[in-house]
């Protein structure tokens, strides 16, 4: 597997399928979003990595948060920008280069596409991008070994133990909350997932 923070075939899938993907993902928000936003101060500055259709960013904006929405694929970013009415930057995970700029980093069903070998540097960059005490959310498919799915997308498929170990190896993350649950993705298949909320050290 590649050791970079992105996978070219996965990016190509989203570039080619952007209109269909956005339509399939147009309604509703992540089941985890409300609980995460309740942890943040009013008007907190949130970076979203892999915003996709912009559905979660739209809800954050509606609730008065200062949202910086990004996606690693230009075609997807354009779809989200049209929906949100704000600039959506094209930013791959390995291109994140911010220093203590955000109160929170939201990455719903996006970091799961980072090759396992390249995930720790991405998590270290997210840690640096957060202000001290800032929070990060991510969720991952957890149904086996790293592999490609039926759409040729790479999924790192981390177990909860593997994910926590990767976070702790990447930076001095504080794991605030974890969850194991069943959910579906673009293929509509129910499978195991994990969710993690982690914090940058407040010191």
Closest by CA to 121, choosing from 159, 144, 92, is 92
Which pLDDT score is estimated for 144?
83
DSSP code, position 173:
-
DSSP-assigned letters across all residues of 105-162? EEETT-GGGS-HHHHHHHHHHHHHHEEEEEEEEEEEE-SSSSEE-TTS-EE----HHH
Is 198 inside a domain boundary?
no
Enter the tokens of residue 145: 């070994």
Is 38 inside a domain boundary?
yes
Is 192 inside a domain boundary?
no
Report pLDDT digits (tens) over 112-156: 999 999 999 999 999 999 999 999 999 999 988 999 999 999 999
Is 158 inside a domain boundary?
yes
Report pLDDT digits (tens) over 170-191: 999 999 999 999 998 777 788 9
Enter the tokens of residue 92: 């791959």
Is 65 inside a domain boundary?
yes
Grouping H, G, I as helix, E, B as strand and the rest as coil, residue 198 is strand
Q: Which residues contact 79 (CB under 8 A, 6 or more apart)?
A: 18, 19, 22, 53, 54
* CATH number of the domain encompassing residue 145: 3.40.50.150
Which pLDDT score is estimated for 1?
39
Is 74 inside a domain boundary?
yes
Q: Count up the domains in the chain and report the number.
A: 1
Is 196 inside a domain boundary?
no
Grouping H, G, I as helix, E, B as strand and the rest as coil, residue 99 is coil
* Structural domain span for residue 17: 8-172
Is 49 inside a domain boundary?
yes
Q: Are 104 and 46 in contact (CB under 8 A)?
A: yes
């Amino acid at each position: 597997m590649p050791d970079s923070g992105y996978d070219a075939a996965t990016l190509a899938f989203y570039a080619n399928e952007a209109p269909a993907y956005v339509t399939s993902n147009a309604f509703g928000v992540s089941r985890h979003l409300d609980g995460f936003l309740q942890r943040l101060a009013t008007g907190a500055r949130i970076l979203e990595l892999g915003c996709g259709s912009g559905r979660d960013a739209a809800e954050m904006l509606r609730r008065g948060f200062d949202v910086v929405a990004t996606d690693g694929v230009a075609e997807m970013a354009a779809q989200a920008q049209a929906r949100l009415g704000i600039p959506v930057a094209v930013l791959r995970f390995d291109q994140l280069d911010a220093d203590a700029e955000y109160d929170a980093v939201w990455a719903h069903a996006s970091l799961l596409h980072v090759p396992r070998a390249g995930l720790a540097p991405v998590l270290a960059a997210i840690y640096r991008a957060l202000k001290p005490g800032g929070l990060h959310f991510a969720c991952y498919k957890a149904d086996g070994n790293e592999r490609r799915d039926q759409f040729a997308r790479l999924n790192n498929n981390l177990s909860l133990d593997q994910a926590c170990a990767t976070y702790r190896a990447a930076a001095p993350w504080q794991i605030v909350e974890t969850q194991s649950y069943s959910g579906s993705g673009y293929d509509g298949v129910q499978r195991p997932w994990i969710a993690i909320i982690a914090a940058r050290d407040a010191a």
